[in-house]
């Protein structure tokens, strides 16, 4: 019996995408994090969070024992990871079981049933780690009647939306010149012994420093960003640009009245994760957010797991045809 190619493709297209195929989970191995689950929300269009967040999840699972579930923007028709999709991140119901949410998102406009999962988590009092563009994670433009439109980054109520209310700041502008000036991390005065910075040294990354007005709430800077005059760690500082916070801690108390620990950083270029100091800061930040700072060793193991060769940043520069299951291989 002969089946035409067109009929075969039509049949394959009709096969439904299973829910569990739309995200990926890395089971924790041995370590202090055994029994704890971290849910990573990767949904930015530019900075290849769809590649860096699985690597961070693998580091935390392999070296520290945390179970990591990574969620992605998924094309509804193909089931592929598509960072240009801003209205579909399947699996957010996993947040109900999470001990920690790590979010790296930008300009999302999610359906109410998906957005509700994020806001319910934030209000629960459980900890949050926010990376780079998560200061401007949401941007409602089409569905202004949504009850969640108020969390847009330019919102007036709450001022600065999700970013300023939860993390401590919203998007203002680039401060270092984008793709021309990189970032050297300098420990903020008095924070040398903070648990998140235990064993952390030589922070550098190709990300540019974001502008910060004033950090909201009880936010305390941990790392100040020194703008360098080029894209190399050996470049000289730009003397015309002052040090600006690029990593801080905060507390967020939502509608449940429970205070949550928050660690935020505006670093997060995919190249930043190739820096050992940045990786250790992120790993330690997860421990601290979970109240596990007494488990942070003098020098956390943060070796890259498998291969990590992310695509360059910019819109539509992601790896095409990639599905969540491919990231387990």
Mean per-residue pLDDT, 189-206: 97
Q: Give the chain's length.
A: 329
Higher per-residue pLDDT: 21 or 277 = 277
Residue 20 has pLDDT above 80, yes or no: no
Q: Where are the alpha helices (DSSP H) in 169-325?
A: 276-289
Mean per-residue pLDDT, 272-294: 98
Mean per-residue pLDDT, 244-250: 98
pLDDT in tens, 142-154: 999 999 999 999 9
pLDDT in tens, 49-59: 999 999 999 99
CA-atom Rg of the chain in angstroms: 20
**Confidence band of 24 (pLDDT split at 50, 70, 90):** very high
pLDDT at 159 (0 to 100): 95
Is the preceding omega at residue 242 within 30 degrees of 0, hence cis? no
pLDDT at 1 (0 to 100): 43
pLDDT in tens, 120-134: 999 999 999 999 999
Q: What is the DSSP code (8-state) at residue 85?
A: -
CB 84, CB 113: distance < 8 Å: no
Q: What is the DSSP code (8-state) at residue 196?
A: G
pLDDT at 29 (0 to 100): 84
Residue whose token pair is 């780079």: 132
Burial track 131-164 (b if 16+ CB lie within 10 A, e otherwise): bbbbbbbbbbeeeeebebbbbbbebeeeebbbbb
Report CA-CA distances (Å) from 241 to 129, 147, 168.
27, 39, 22
**What ranges do the domains of the chain cover?**
19-172+247-312
CA nearest 182: which of 213, 203, 212?
203
**Residue 265 is encoded by which pair of tokens?**
């950083």
pLDDT in tens, 91-100: 999 999 999 9
Give the orientation angle of helix 276-289 with respect to helix 49-64, to 10 degrees. Answer: 70
**Number of neighbouring beta carbons within 10 Å of residue 44:** 28
* Cα 140 from Cα 109, distance rounded (Å): 5
Mean per-residue pLDDT, 199-226: 96
Is CATH 1.25.10 the classification given to domain 19-172+247-312? no
Helix (H) or strand (E) holding 25: strand 23-26
pLDDT at 18 (0 to 100): 61
Q: Is the dihedral of CA 150, 247, 125, 85 positive or negative?
A: positive
**Residue 198 is encoded by which pair of tokens?**
């235990």
What's the pTM value of the predicted model, to 2 decimals? 0.93
Q: What is the mean pLDDT of the chain?
A: 93
Residues facing 105 on adjacent strands: 43
First to last CA, the chain: 35
* Lowest model confidence (mean pLDDT) among 13-27, 86-100, 196-210, 300-314: 13-27
Residue 6 has pLDDT above 70, yes or no: no
């Amino acid at each position: 019996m002969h089946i035409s190619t067109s009929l075969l493709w039509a049949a394959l297209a009709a096969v439904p995408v299973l829910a569990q195929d739309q995200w990926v989970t890395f089971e924790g191995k041995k370590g202090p994090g055994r029994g704890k689950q971290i849910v990573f929300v990767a949904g930015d269009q530019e900075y290849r969070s769809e590649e860096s967040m699985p690597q961070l999840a693998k580091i935390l699972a392999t070296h520290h024992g945390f179970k990591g579930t990574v969620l992605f923007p998924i094309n509804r028709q193909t089931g592929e990871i598509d960072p240009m999709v801003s209205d579909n991140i399947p699996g957010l119901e996993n947040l109900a079981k999470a001990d920690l949410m790590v979010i790296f998102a930008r300009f999302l406009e999610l359906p109410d049933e998906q957005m509700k999962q994020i806001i319910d988590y934030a209000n629960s009092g459980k900890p949050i780690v926010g990376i780079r563009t998560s200061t401007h994670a949401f941007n409602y433009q089409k569905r202004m009647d949504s009850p969640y439109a108020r969390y847009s980054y330019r919102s007036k109520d709450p001022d600065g939306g999700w970013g300023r209310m939860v993390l401590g700041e919203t998007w203002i502008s680039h401060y270092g010149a984008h793709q021309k000036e990189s970032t050297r991390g300098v420990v903020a005065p008095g924070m040398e012994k903070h648990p998140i910075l235990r064993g952390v040294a030589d922070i550098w990354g190709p990300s540019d420093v974001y502008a910060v007005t004033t950090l909201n709430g009880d936010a305390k800077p941990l790392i100040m960003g020194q703008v360098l005059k080029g894209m190399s760690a050996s470049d000289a500082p730009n003397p015309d640009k002052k040090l600006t916070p690029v990593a801080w801690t905060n507390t967020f108390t939502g509608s449940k009245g429970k205070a949550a620990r928050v660690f935020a950083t505006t670093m997060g270029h995919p190249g930043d994760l190739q820096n050992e100091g940045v990786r250790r800061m992120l790993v330690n930040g997860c421990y601290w957010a979970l109240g596990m700072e007494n488990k942070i060793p003098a020098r956390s193991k943060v070796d890259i797991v498998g291969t990590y060769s992310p695509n360059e940043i910019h819109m539509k520069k992601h790896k095409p045809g990639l599905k969540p299951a491919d990231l387990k291989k």
